Structure 1
């Protein structure tokens, strides 16, 4: 415990307090010896970083609980599944920095329910760099993250319908291999139609 506290830059008393609050998992025990590892050190450094960003211990405890019960990244991404999206690995403090003041247990749970976020040990994995960048950009523009996630849920419902429509069209006229090869065409149609729809929406305001 002394060694862990020293490496984390905190006192043993603070470490005991964190253990009592269940902010860190219990150590592995062998008889009367308690073993701590890099997972505990990473969690302590995360706690310190989040405290510096203004999070309370109660809030950090709720975030830690949400992460501990989050979806595993292997379940989130699947094994060998084809994708054009680039996953992004983040520490909890890096995620908090991306969405200043908006990383709450509720928003974290909503993002995990959507399948945006998964966990891999002490790291958080976002399923798509593009979605991460767009989400953080919208938050910087003053849109609450809760509203961004709610919109994302609506978008998910619509694009699932569009994907099914495109897959049905392609498979009706060719082998399944065509679905992967022709997916850029589906993306182009959606992007073009969304652009035209935004044009129509903007003209209505003129």
Structure 2
């Protein structure tokens, strides 16, 4: 069982690398949940520390405090983080709920505030209370498999950004093609055909890439 740590305000600020004044500001902006009160003493825990480190990583990535506050509000009130990030409810992907400990076990040594912020920015990861929610079981399995093969999680997430760009372009291509010849409701029915084309073309592209590598030896 993981030991629970609690901190006074000064200690929490020191561990998070911020000033007490900044911590008070974040609390007033509701960027972190209220502390546990014991008389006049406020006690913070590891969830507050993790939130502060994630805020720092998001700020480094160019997010505004208003945007972070919106995410924090969604996390604290159980709103659908996928909807908040504009992803909507996945129709074929299965979300996965994880404890922070389970996520750390899957990506040993790779669960840093920077990687968490990148996963949140991609829309892969959100929180619901004390649980983490990954938007896709398949993407979670592939990501953890790549990390087990020795590929840093940060690079996996960077590749995810590029894959997302290409996937969006392919989705637009097939949607435009289908909608030029069929009504909107047919888009969902014909979706498996588009997916099969992409899977086949990617397989052929990997064949060409492997042949290219073997020919250069």
TM, length-normalised to structure 1: 0.72
Partner of 2:95: 87
User: Gaps (5+ residues) in structure 1?
Assistant: 1-6, 48-56
Q: Is the 8 Å Cα contact of residues 87 and 128 (structure 1) preserved in structure 2?
A: yes
> What is the total number of aligned residue pairs between the two structures?
179
Partner Cα distance (2:2, 2:40) in 1: 20
Relative to structure 1, the CA distance from residue 19 to residue 26 in structure 2 (aligned partners, 3 Å threshold; closer, same or farther) is farther
Q: Is 1:177–2:185 an aligned residue pair?
A: yes
Aligned equivalent of 1:21, options 1, 12, 24: 12
Structure 2 counterparts to residues 121-136 of structure 1, below 5 A: 121-136=129-144
Alignment of structure 1 residues 23-42 onto 2, 5 Å: 25-27=33-35, 32=39
Give the whole-Å Cα distance in 2 for the aligned partners of 1:103 and 1:79: 23
Shift of 1:201: 0.6
Output the CA distance in 2 between the equivalents of 1:66 and 1:204: 39
After TM superposition, the structure 1 = structure 2 runs for residues 1-206 of structure 1, keeping only pairs within 5 Å, are 15-17=6-8, 20-21=11-12, 25-27=33-35, 32=39, 62-63=53-54, 69=68, 70=71, 72=74, 74-77=80-83, 81=89, 83-206=91-214
Unpaired runs of 5+ in structure 2?
17-31, 59-67
1:66 CA displacement: 6.2
Q: Could you give the per-residue CA deviations for residues 121-159 of structure 1, whole angstroms, max 9, x where no partner exists?
A: 111111100000000000000000011001110000001
Once structures 1 and 2 are overlaid, which stretch shifts more, 14-23 or 114-123? 14-23
Are the structure 2 counterparts of residues 18 and 98 from structure 1 closer, same or farther at C-alpha, using a change threshold of 3 Å?
farther
Check conservation: 2:99, 2:130, Cα contact below 8 A.
Answer: yes
Backbone CA RMSD of aligned residues: 3.5
Q: Contact 1:19/1:25 (CA < 8 Å) preserved in 2?
A: no
* Partners of 2:94 and 2:3 in 1: CA distance: 35
Aligned-partner Cα distance in 2 for 1:79–1:150: 18
Label 1:128 to 1:187 Cα distance change in 2 as closer, same or farther (>3 A): same
Quick one: distance in 2 between partners of 1:87 and 1:100? 21
- Between the aligned partners of 1:19 and 1:88, the Cα distance in structure 2 is 36
Match of 1:52 in 2: none
Cα deviation for residue 33 of structure 1 reads 7.7
Structure 2 length-normalised TM: 0.69
